[in-house]
A and B are shown apart, each in its own frame.
Chain A
Amino acid sequence: MDAVYGASYVFIDRCYVYLDKKGKGIEVVLRGKEPLDDEALEALCGQFANELLHQVLRARLAKRSGKVREMIVGRALFSAEGSGAGFEGELEDDFDDFGDEDDYLDDPLGIAVPWEEKYGDQAAPLDQGEAPAEGEHPAGEKDSHE
């Protein structure tokens, strides 16, 4: 019955859907919102049957993967609460690996130092000045491997 409801719900903006009980089954009456010829009506019926099949398959898959889905959602909610020992515990272990002298503001490679501060005014980035000669550093420094 849920599959019939699901398929009907998809179709109620396209056509008029009327359901009725016929014995143990359900009769589905489809009527176009605009007048439809036989071919269009047949196509509509076919599409409804396809949607019905899709809904049945969807319901079966949902039933089969229900437990897994519940576990994933449960785990996600548990972690989000902040009381879970999973991800948060791992994160705390990572933090413990850092020594007390380590600071996230430390910049041993000088990545955060601006170009001007590092090389002075005469230094120009590649895209603003002339291309440096081969083997020459853009700021006039020699390569360290020479």
Chain B
Amino acid sequence: MEPLRLHRSIYPPKAISDTVKAFEELLQAEMVKEGEYQIITLRPLGSEHSPATLRHEFANYALGRAARSR
């Protein structure tokens, strides 16, 4: 699965860590900082959901957390 590139000024670290926690039963996340971006590699833990769906839902959830924290 292609890693997710989330800009840290848009997706604050707290929003990302909350998302990782919320998805911990569905996927494993590895995070690396690259400049202003947080690169997140996601590994699904089951086959119930497609990797693409999980990736998109992960990004949506992170955005929701970021929006709510403003």
Contacts and interface: CB of A to CB of B under 8 A. Distances in A.
Interface of A: 1-2, 5-6, 8-9, 12, 16-21, 26, 31, 33
A5 B70 contact: yes
A22 B57 CA distance: 23
13 contacts: A1-B70, A2-B70, A5-B63, A5-B66, A8-B63, A8-B67, A9-B63, A9-B67, A12-B60, A17-B63, A19-B10, A21-B36, A26-B10
A83 to B, nearest CB: 34
B47 interface: no
Q: Please give me the 7 A-B residue pairs with the lowest Cβ-Cβ distance, nearest first.
A: A5-B67, A16-B56, A9-B67, A12-B60, A21-B7, A19-B10, A12-B64
B70 A16 contact: no
Contact of B10 (A2, A21, A31): A21
Interface in B4-51: 5, 7, 9-11, 36
Contacts, number: 39
Contacts of A20: 5, 7, 10
A59 to B, nearest CB: 11
Given A5-B63, A21-B9, 14 more contacts: A1-B70, A2-B70, A5-B67, A5-B70, A8-B67, A16-B56, A16-B57, A16-B60, A18-B59, A19-B7, A19-B11, A19-B63, A20-B7, A20-B10
Most A CB within 10 A of own CB, among B5, B7, B10? B10
